[in-house]
Structure 1
Amino acid sequence: MSKENFIQVFEYQKLRYDGTNAFKKNHFDAMVLFNEKNQNKYYTIIHKGVLFNSYVGVIQIGGLTIEILPKADKSDSPDKKTWQGVLLNMLRVCKHITIDNVSETNLKKRHNSILDVYFEMYLSEIENLVKRGLIKKYRRVQSNQLALKGKLVFSQNIQKNSVHKERFYCEHQVYDKDHLLHQILLKGLKILENLVDVTIKDKLNRLLFEFNDYKDVAVNSSHFDKIISNRKNIPYYKALNIAKMIILNYSPNLNSGSDNMLTLLFDMNKLWEEYIYRILQNNKPIGFKVNFQNKTHFWETKTIRPDIVITSDDGQTFVIDTKWKIIDTNKPSDDDLKQMFTYCLHWEAEKSMLLYPMINQTDSKFGVYHYNGLNRKCKLGFVSVLQNGQLIKSVELSKEIFKKFDVL
C-alpha cells in the first residue's frame, strides 16, 4: 500500500477533498451513499468532506484506505502509529482480532492498516485449513443422469427428457468439497483480489487456485445462518468469522463506478466498554466476579443496563459506567449522577464510578448520595492506556481500577 493512497485521521477530525491529499470527490460520493444506507451513523457529511465521530477503524474505497484512529490525547500532533497500536490492542483484548505481534509492551511491529491485519489473518487461517485437508460434506444436487440415481424429480424429468427417454432427472446426494463452507471462503478470497497489498498477493493467488473448482455464489447473511456447528467444522470458525466481516461489509460499485468499498468500523464507546470489562474479567482478584451488561426491568417494559457490575464473596457490589471521551472536569454531571444512583439502588451497590480515559486528570473523591440514610457513593475515575508511549499491561490496568474502589 503506497503512502499516497493511505490516509490516517483521528476520531472527530475532518477530511476534505481539497487537493491536499488522495481523498477525491469520487471517494466522497461513495462515502455519502454508504452513510445514507446506514442511517448516517458513521460520520457527518460537511462541505466537500466528512466529519468523523465516535466510529474508528478502516474504510477502503477502490485503491484508497482511510484509517480512523482513537485519541485520548490533547496533543496537536499525536503519534498515529502509537494510537494505531492502541486500537489494535483493544481489538486483540476484545477478541476481534488474534495477532501475536501486538503485545502489551511493544508497538514496534508496524502495520499499514488494520485491514491488513484482518487480511493476513484470513489468508493464514485458510492456508492452515488447506494444509490439514479441506473437509468433504454431503450435499443434495439435481441433474440429468443416464441411470436412475436417488429420487426421480417428475416435473423436471417430463420437462427436460420428453425426447431423451434414456435419461433421468434425479435428485441425489454427493460427497465432495464443493459445499457452503468453501463457497463462503472462496467469496471472501475473491473480494480480496482487488484489495490486498502486493506483499500478500502471491499467497492469495495460491489459495484461489486451491478453491478454483468450487462454485462462486453470491453470499449474503442468510448463508451464514445455514451453517450448522459440528466437530468437523470447528477449525473453520476463525476463517468463517473473518469471511463474514469481509463479505457483509463489502459494497461493490457503490457509486456506479469502480470504487468498491470495504468498511470495518467500531463504536469507540462500545469498544472501550468491552475492553475494560475483559481487562477486569481476565485479571480480577480472588473472591471477585465481574459481570458485563447486566440488564434488569426498570419500568413496565423498559430496562436499565450498567456497563460493568463487580461483586465480591463478602457481599460488596460496585458499578462501573465507561465513557470514551475527554472531559475537563472531575465532577459528574447531574444526569450521570442520577443514572449512577439508579444503578446503585437497583444493584444494591455501595460505590459506583464513571470511568474515562486519562489525559492529565485526577480522580474525584467519592461523593455521598443523601437519600434515606443509605450509604451510596459515586466518583469520576480516569485510567490511561499508555505509559511513556508503551501499552500498559492488562494486569496493571486492572489493579489500578480495583484500587479506585479501595479494595486492594
Structure 2
Amino acid sequence: MGKEKKHFTVFEHQCLWDHKGNERLSTPQLEALQAFHGEKGVPFYSLIHKGVRFNEFVGVLQVGNLTIEVLPKADKTDDKAHWQKMLIGMLKAVGIFDIHAPSNSNLKLKANSILDLYFELFIQEVEYLMHRGLVKRYRKTEGNTTALKGSLQFAQHIQKNQVHQERFYVRHSIYDVQHPLHRILYKVIILLSRINTSAYLQSRIGALLLNFPEQEEIQVTETTFHKISFNRKTEPYQNAIEIARLLLMNYHPDVAKGKNHVLALMFDMNLLWEHFVIVTLRKYFRKEQSSFSVTAQTTKYFWKPQDGYRTKIIPDILIKFNSKNFAVLDTKWKNLNGYNPSAEDLRQLFVYHEYFQAQKVALVYPGNNLSKTSGLYLHPSHGAETDKECSVLTLSVGNSIKDWQTFIGKELEEWLMHTQERTLPKLLTPTVSK
C-alpha cells in the first residue's frame, strides 16, 4: 500500500491545532510533537492548548506521513509559493545546497517540497558517487577460508577446523567498498525508503537500494562524523556525508508506537538572515570592486573577572574600509512595523560604536518597504546630542533572490558612502541595569 501524504504549509509564528483551523493535526501527530518537545523543549515551536505555535525557525518537520513546512515572512503578503522560493534561494545563497553533481540546475523542485529537495540532493549526490565509482578501502577481516592467505590464527583454527581440515582460519586484508563512509550512506538510503512520501523519488530510492552495495548496520552519533577525515579520493563524499549527518542527526524515531517518527530540518531565521546579508555584501563588493570588505563575527573582549573567562562581544558584520573599522551592522529578522528598535538593540549598537571605533553602526531588518533612518545617541551627563549615530535600515523583500541581493548590496553601499537624513526621534541614553 502507498503512503498517504499530508502536507501543511505555515508561516513562522503561526499555530496548528487539533480542534480548529483549516489544517488540523491529528491527535497522534500532536502527541508526537508534544513528546518531541518534551520537558526541556525545542526551539522550533512552543506548546499551546491543543496545538503548537512555531517560532523564528523555518524549514520542515516530518511527523509520520505529515510534512509541516514552516516558511519565513517579512512582509504583509501571504504568498506561500513566493516565500518558499525565497527560503530555498536564501539557503542556496549561503551554501546549504552546494552539491558536487553537475546537474544541480536540473533539480526537479515540486510545489511544497523543501523536504523532497533535501532528499533529492542526497539521492543525486549518491548517484554521482556511484557514477564516478565507489571508493574502495583496505579492511581487516578474519574467518574460515579454503585457501591459506594472510596470517593463520592457530587457536581459532584448531578450535573450529578439527573436522574440516580443508579450511583455514586466517586474518587478512580485503580491498573492497565495505567501510564507514558507505555504511553511513547506506543507512540514509534505508531511512529514506521508510520515510519518503514522494512518488517521484520513490523509484530512485528503490534503484539505490538495488544497486548500492549492502553494508553492515552502523550506530551513528555526532562523534561518528567528527572522526571522519577526507583525502583526495574521498573528497567527493563530503556533501553526501554532510547531508547524511543532517538527516540522521535530526531524525527522532518514535520508539513508543513506531508510527509517528519526527524529522526536524529547521533553521534559525535570525542566523540565516545574518549569513544571507554577509554573503550578499561580499558578492556585491567583489563584483563592484569596492574598497569595502566584510568580516563576520569579529570578537572583542570587554570585561575580565578576577577569576574565570573574559566576556566578549561579537557583532554580526564588521565592514572595513582601507583595513580600518568603518561600520558595524547587526541583523535582526523581525518586522518593526513602524516602531523604533528595542532599547536593548540600541544599547548593543552603542557598545559596538565604542569598542570598534566605527564611524557608522546600523540595525538591519527585512520589511515591506525600503526605509533608512537614523538617530543620535545622547550624552550621559547633560543629554545633548553626540556625534554617535545609529541607523535603522529596513530592506524591502525582492521578487527574486537575485534581485533582492542586488538591491541589498546597492542600498547598503549607498548608506556606507553617504550620511542619511536623521529622521528618527532622539534615542534614549543607553543605560545599564543594576
User: What do the CA deviations read for 1:317-349 (whole angstroms, capped 9, x no partner)?
Assistant: 100000001113453332222211111121110
Per the alignment, residue 423 of structure 2 pairs with: none
Match of 1:73 among 51, 57, 75: 75
CA distance in structure 1 between the partners assigned to 2:155 and 2:299 by the alignment: 54
Match of 1:394 among 405, 423, 433: 405
User: What do the CA deviations read for 1:216-266 (whole angstroms, capped 9, x no partner)?
Assistant: 323332322232210001111111111111111111225423122211000
Per the alignment, residue 53 of structure 1 pairs with: 55
Which ranges of structure 1 fall in alignment gaps of 5 or more residues? 103-107
Aligned positions of 1:256-271 closer than 5 A:
256-271=257-272
Query: Secondary structure at 2:352's aligned position in 1?
Result: helix
Q: CA deviation at 1:93?
A: 0.6
Which ranges of structure 2 fall in alignment gaps of 5 or more residues? 99-103, 305-309, 420-434
Query: Secondary structure at 2:189's aligned position in 1?
Result: helix
Answer yes or no: is the 8 Å Cα contact 1:330–1:361 preserved in 2. Answer: no
Answer yes or no: is the 8 Å Cα contact 1:30–1:254 preserved in 2. Answer: no
Check 1:293–1:254 CA distance in 2 against 1; reply closer, same or farther (3 A cut).
farther
The reply on whether 1:403 has 2:414 as its aligned counterpart is yes
Per the alignment, residue 192 of structure 1 pairs with: 192
Q: TM-score, normalised by structure 2?
A: 0.83
Query: Secondary structure at 2:349's aligned position in 1?
Result: helix
Aligned positions of 1:145-224 closer than 5 A:
145=145, 149-151=149-151, 169-196=169-196, 197-224=198-225
Per the alignment, residue 92 of structure 2 pairs with: 92
Aligned positions of 1:4-403 closer than 5 A:
5-18=6-19, 20-21=22-23, 23-36=25-38, 39-75=41-77, 78-98=78-98, 100=105, 110-145=110-145, 149-151=149-151, 169-196=169-196, 197-284=198-285, 285=288, 286-300=290-304, 301-313=310-322, 315=324, 317-329=326-338, 331-360=340-369, 362-368=371-377, 370=379, 375-387=387-399, 392-403=403-414
Q: CA deviation at 1:147?
A: 5.6
Answer yes or no: is the 8 Å Cα contact 1:29–1:255 preserved in 2. Answer: no
Q: TM-score, normalised by structure 1?
A: 0.88
User: What do the CA deviations read for 1:120-169 (whole angstroms, capped 9, x no partner)?
Assistant: 11111111111111111112223334566445667766775688787655
Answer yes or no: is the 8 Å Cα contact 1:331–1:364 preserved in 2. Answer: no
Which stretch of the first structure deviates more once superposed, 352-361 or 18-27? 18-27
- Total equivalences in the alignment: 400
Answer yes or no: is the 8 Å Cα contact 1:111–1:117 preserved in 2. Answer: no
1:262 maps to a residue whose letter is: L
CA distance in structure 2 between the partners assigned to 1:116 and 1:358 by the alignment: 29
CA distance in structure 2 between the partners assigned to 1:263 and 1:212 by the alignment: 28
Percent identity reads 37
